Amino acid sequence: MIAAIIDGKAFAGALRERIGAAVPAFVASTGRKPGLAVVLVGEDPASQVYVRSKGKSTVEAGMASIEHRLDDSASQAELLALVDQLNRDPGVDGILVQLPLPKHIDEASVIAAIDPDKDVDGFHVVNAGRLAVGAEGFVPCTPLGCLMLLKDRLGDLAGLDAVVIGRSNIVGKPMAQLLIQQSCTVTVAHSRTKNLPDVVRRADIVVAAVGRPEMIRGDWIKPGAVVIDVGINRVPGAEPGKTRLVGDVAYAEAAEVAGAITPVPGGVGPMTIAVLLRNTLVAAHRREGLADPVGL
């Protein structure tokens, strides 16, 4: 079997179109645009790229982008004061503090300071708790994007065996919660899992989020399984001094066995910002007492 390629870039583009199409009705009923505030502390080059890209996509969707850049040397108190100001600002529906933060700042304290109803990253413990009990809240963007791709591919997921590799708070744990909610039988594997290849061989759905280049091999994949590769790993390229991006799955091998697979790049990656915009639009509606926009 040769796997179908799951085109996350195209799916994300279509999602962004639907988001953009839903914004005018919000503006008409509230007299304002949905607003996303992004806070960047320091000059990490990768973070600067992400933040620029988020701001551009926000504006393209017809929403207001509020960017705050703090110096590397900014204190935790300064950052907490900014978060407090954004919590109180009625024009701000979503707050995203770009991670990682400089070492002298405690990330957990900063996330805890964000109003859970503006926490469009879904990182606040209140939102993690809401997800765990099935209450309405915000789900981290990357796993929610993975779920959208899975449902688009498979429809009803009930009864399927899903293996999530990785147990991070940002991807692995919320992914497992989402799959449980979809009535999958979920296994969460991690660095201490015994006989990982055999665990993965059981899975109809494999979500790889370990951050190890090409760790999951083709002969671990059950024929016909759907493989979602969250990994973005930079490895040495063919030419000296050049690099290339690879996922956590050995793509060429896995594509010979899987039913469908996300490429890297162009799979899960583009979904994250699209879902961030989706969460922001949903936050705006809820804050205004409006019903959630349909079809997002």
Shortest distance in whole angstroms from residue 49 CB to ligand GUN? 10
Site for ligand GUN in 55-114 (CB under 6 A): 96-99
121 catalytic, yes or no?
yes
Distance CA 273, CA 12 (A): 8
Shortest distance in whole angstroms from residue 44 CB to ligand GUN? 9
> Given the complex with ligand GUN, which of 1 and 234 has the nearer CB atom?
234
Shortest distance in whole angstroms from residue 256 CB to ligand GUN? 31
> Given the complex with ligand GUN, which of 162 and 276 has the nearer CB atom?
276
Q: Residues with Cβ < 8 Å from 133, sequence gap 6 or more?
A: none
Shortest distance in whole angstroms from residue 56 CB to ligand GUN? 16
Neighbours of 223 (CB within 10 A): 10
- Write the single-letter amino acid at 64: A
Cβ-proximal residue to ligand GUN, closest one: 99
264 and 231 in contact (C-beta within 8 Å)? yes
Kind plus residue range of the DSSP H or E element containing 64: strand 64-70
Which of 93, 117, 121, 248 is labelled catalytic? 121
54 catalytic, yes or no?
yes
76 catalytic, yes or no?
no
Which of 33, 93, 98, 117 is labelled catalytic? 98
Neighbour order of strands in the sheet with 226-229:
4-5, 260-261, 226-229, 205-208, 161-165, 185-189
- Write the single-letter amino acid at 129: G
Residues forming the site for ligand GUN (CB under 6 A): 96-99, 121, 141, 272
